[in-house]
Each structure stands twice: as structure tokens, then as C-alpha cells.
A and B are shown apart, each in its own frame.
Chain A
Amino acid sequence: MLFVALSATAGCATKVSNTVIGEGPLPLLSADDGISAKSRECPATISVTDESVKSAPLTDIGNQVVRSLALEVLQGVGPEITEAQSESELQVVVKRAYVHKLASSKSAVVVLSVTNRVSAESTVYRGRSVGVNWWGTQREYLEGLKLAMQEALGPVAYQLQRICAA
């Protein structure tokens, strides 16, 4: 019985994944990806705006929570984080950030669009985290959302680190 229980919990692990939507070039590609030199320059500033609707079970979270999850990922990757979206070279807009319940599990999803103001190119990134809904608390939902945000912003942060370190 113990063996059954132990094997059962193996399936309870949280699974994360991300998707980049669109066939166009990413706003930040490396030199060998064939994009103009100008858009490969490390952007001086980056802004994050949250346009997502907060639906249950996240209706009570503060206005700045989702934005702060994004800033945590982007902190220290290169560009200076600015409040002014219109002036920033790289604009991150959170389109969707939500958690929905699936039987005894929960799925956290983040969808964001990243626009390079210099090259006027925009790409959509999606991050997802699905795991067991152990306690159904807001803290647990926010943990899921944080993982999804890390997945969604992961490719952007990686590109920025490469370009800005060069």
C-alpha cells in the first residue's frame, strides 16, 4: 500500500511549460538569427504593464501583484526598469494572468506580449504551471502564477541576459 501511495504522489508533481506564439522574429534575437543590428542592442529601458482581468480565485489580489511577479523575473537582466511605458524601449504587457481549478488540480497561466519599440516587433509568450491544488489558498495560487510568469518571461530574460552581457 505504501508503494502505491508513493507511486501515486509521483504523478502529483507540478508541470511547467512555455510557448512562443508567432512566426515573426522575436524582438530580441542573437546575431546569427538574422535580425538587424539595431534591434539586437541591449534595450536601455523595459516597462511592465498589467492589463489582465482578475477573475476568481484571484479577484482579491492587489493591482500590483502580477506586475511585481514579472519584475522579479526581469530584475537585473540588463535594462533599467521604468514606469513609463511609452518611453521604454522594451514593453511587456501582461494580457492574461489567471488560475483555474481542474478537479483536484490547478492551472496557472500567464500570457504576455513583448514589443520592441525600436524594431516595432511584437511577440506573444505564454507560460503555464499545472499542479495539485493542495490547500486552495491564495498563497498557493500565487505560487502557481509565479511559476507561470517565470515560464512566460523565461525566454525574454534569457535573450536579454545574452544581449546585454555582450
Chain B
Amino acid sequence: MFKKILIVAAALLTTACSLAPYENFDSKVVQGKQSMRLVSQVSQEEMVKEFVPSNSGSSAGAQFGLVGALVGSAVDASVNNSRAQEAEQMVEPFRNALLDLDVRSLVYNQLAENSARIDWVAEINPVMEQLESGKKPEEYVLGADEDLVLMVDTHYSLKPGTEVVEFVAAYALYDRDAVRNSGKSKSKPIYSNTATVQSYPHNGSIRRLTESEKEAERLALEERYPTGEDVGKNTRARNQKYKNKALSKLDKKTLSVPGYNPNGSVWLANDGALLRQEVQAAPSLLASMVIKDLIGEYPLPELAEGEKRKHAKVPQVLEELDDGMVITRQPNGMLLSKHRDAPVYTTFGNVF
């Protein structure tokens, strides 16, 4: 296991160095194509609750040789099984609250509706399908009648701390003739990307300060560390130093959200009203993001003449919605919608 981790890490590092900066989809590459099949796949039947998987046992056991690694893996399997059982038990009320919602159709309908905005192909045939187990997308593409196949694979989950509901769509556009000519093993999509929607953090655990809170903190710092003429020179210099240090931390300061409950009971109140609201709203936003990415409504920052595109270092803001939700393009090209004051909730915690 440990060896595998090292190999994967080495491969990731090498690819990171050799990867070209992200480029948007260019519709010129599909010029002349007449038809496209849009395949919407949601390969889960109900809401999933993520949990933090354990791999510490196998990592620690590896230093004791093969037997140690095996024992470590057994420990991990046991820990993960307990966590899986706990997560499955915890998510059940959420599943019950969504029992009458057909998430698969919600996603499909929104994708089909939004796809009407695509203007680089004349005919679009949306379908809702479940790919056979183990079947590669390329094999499916070969059997399509259309020139292009846009595969959108969506999954949705509750993050481990139940802070947000997350919808993720991985989408890839294939040219059937290119797949046919290159052979199954070598074929790659013309374009692929991922769009993530993290709901309003109704059960948020942590947040950044709002502008008014920052202003209040600034005023408090002014009072605490006065730097006016009436203060002695040495004190003034010391206060200025302390104040500057505190001000520099203000943008990264976080607050714990009072009332946060790891069980996520707020989602289930009033017959799961908030949960249902977010699960019903997410497919529309997700589909809109996917299609806007494909029709060029999210352009990359313009380059000066002769300037070459470099790897982005910070997310690019694409849309700011009235309810505080912000859509950004991450440095790796992925699209993300989340609340402006909330972190990105991940399987392992949160990142601002």
C-alpha cells in the first residue's frame, strides 16, 4: 500500500510539472459536426454521506513488513467498516426525506433544457442512461448514432460534517469518429471538466468574517492600539506594529458558526424543508454551469498581446449571485459554486 502511495505521488508530481495551463473548450474543434447525444447519468439511487476513510493502519503497519502491512490493512478495513455503518445509519433520515424526489430526472431535465443553448451543433438528443458496470465511456461512444457524445456523470452527497449538500458533475465531450479512428485504449475526450455545487451552508461549521464584522474589528483594533499624537513615541510604534499584525490576519480570520450540529438536524426540520429545497435547486445551477462552460459564457481572463497563458494561482470569479453564492473557476479549470463566506467543504475538512 505504502509503495503504491509513493508511486502515485511521484506520478502526480511529474504530471503537475508537465501539465499545460487550463484552456477553455473551443467549439472550432467540433465544426461540421451535425448531431450530439447528451447522456445524463446519475449512478446512485439515493443520497450518500461521505466519511473520512482511514489509511493510517496500513501506512503505519508497512514499516513492519508484509505482515505488518496486512494487519494494518485489516485495521483500516475494520475502522472504515464502522465508519461506513455509522454514515449509512446517519444518512437514512435524509434519504427518507427525499424518498419522493427523482433526482435522476431533475438532473436530466435541467441538462436537457439548458442544452438547447448550445449552438455549435444542429441536433441534440438528450438521454438518461445508466452505463453498464465496467463499460468504458469510449465503448459507449462507439455505439452512438450521433457525431458527438457529451457524457455528464453526476453524483450528490452530504459532506462528512453535514455542512452542505454537494452536487458534482463530471462531463466529457467525445467525437465518435476520433474514438473510432484512434482505437479504444488511446481515445480521449475533446474536452472534459467538472462542475461542483456546494449548497448554502445551512449547517455551516466555520466562516470568514463579513465586511461589517471586519470593519468592527478594525475599529476595535484602533481603540485597543491607539496611534494618535497623544500617545508616546515608543508606545505608538509598538501599537502600530501590533495593529498591523492583527489587521493582516483579518482577511483569514474564521469564526465558528454557533448552532452547528454535526448530525445536520437543521436539514431535517420541517419535513426536510431545507434539504429538499437545496436538492431541488442544485441540478438547475449545475446544468447551467456545465452548459455555460461549453458555450463560452465563462471566458478565461484576456491576455495581453504576445502574452502566454500561465497556471492560474487564484480562482477566477465568474458569477456573483444575489444570495451570496459565487461561481468561480478554480486554477485547474474546474467550476465551483459556493457561498462567498463559507469554505470549500471537503472529505477531509474545509479549505478557504
Residues of A within 8 A of B (CB): 1, 4-5, 8-13, 15, 17, 19, 21, 52-60, 95-96, 98, 100, 102-105, 107, 109, 111, 124, 126, 128, 130-132
Contact = CB atoms under 8 A, between A and B. Distances in A.
Contact of B99 (A21, A131, A132): A21
Contact of A11 (B67, B68, B78, B133): B78
Contacts of B53: 103-104
A107 B78 CA distance: 14
B74 interface: yes
B92 A102 contact: no
Contact of B87 (A95, A102, A111, A124): A102
B132 interface: yes
Contact of A5 (B74, B83, B133): B74
Give the most central of A15, A95, A105: most B CB within 10 Å.
A105
A53 B45 contact: yes
Which 6 A-B pairs rank lowest in CB-CB distance, beginning with the nearest?
A11-B78, A105-B84, A102-B84, A103-B53, A98-B45, A103-B80
Given A55-B130, A56-B133, A59-B132, A105 B81 contact: yes
Chain B: interface size category: 35 or more
A32 B89 CA distance: 31
A126 B95 CA distance: 10
B91 to A, nearest CB: 9
B71 A132 contact: no
B71 A5 contact: yes
A96 B71 CA distance: 36
Given A5-B74, A57-B133, A126-B92, A102 B44 contact: no
A150 B95 CA distance: 20
Give the most central of B70, B81, B99: most A CB within 10 Å.
B81
A132 B96 contact: no
B173 interface: no
Contacts of B88: 102, 107, 128, 130
A15 B83 CA distance: 12
Nearest to B76: A104
A124 B43 CA distance: 23
21 contacts: A4-B71, A8-B74, A8-B78, A9-B74, A10-B78, A11-B78, A11-B79, A15-B85, A17-B89, A52-B45, A53-B45, A55-B44, A56-B132, A59-B131, A59-B133, A103-B51, A103-B80, A103-B84, A105-B80, A128-B92, A130-B88
Contacts of A11: 77-79, 81-82
A12 B64 CA distance: 22
Specify the main secondary structure of chain B where it touches its partner: helix
Interface of B: 43-46, 48, 51, 53-54, 57, 64, 67-68, 70-71, 74-85, 87-89, 92, 95-96, 99, 104, 130-133
Nearest to A4: B71
Given A103-B53, A111-B99, A55 B43 contact: yes
Contact of B81 (A57, A58, A104, A109): A104
Nearest to A6: B74
Give the most central of B51, B53, B84: most A CB within 10 Å.
B84
Contact of B132 (A1, A60, A131): A60
B71 A104 contact: no
A121 B53 CA distance: 42
Contacts of A13: 81
A118 B75 CA distance: 52
Contacts of A109: 45-46
A12 B130 contact: no
Nearest to A56: B133
B237 to A, nearest CB: 55
A158 to B, nearest CB: 21
Nearest to B77: A104
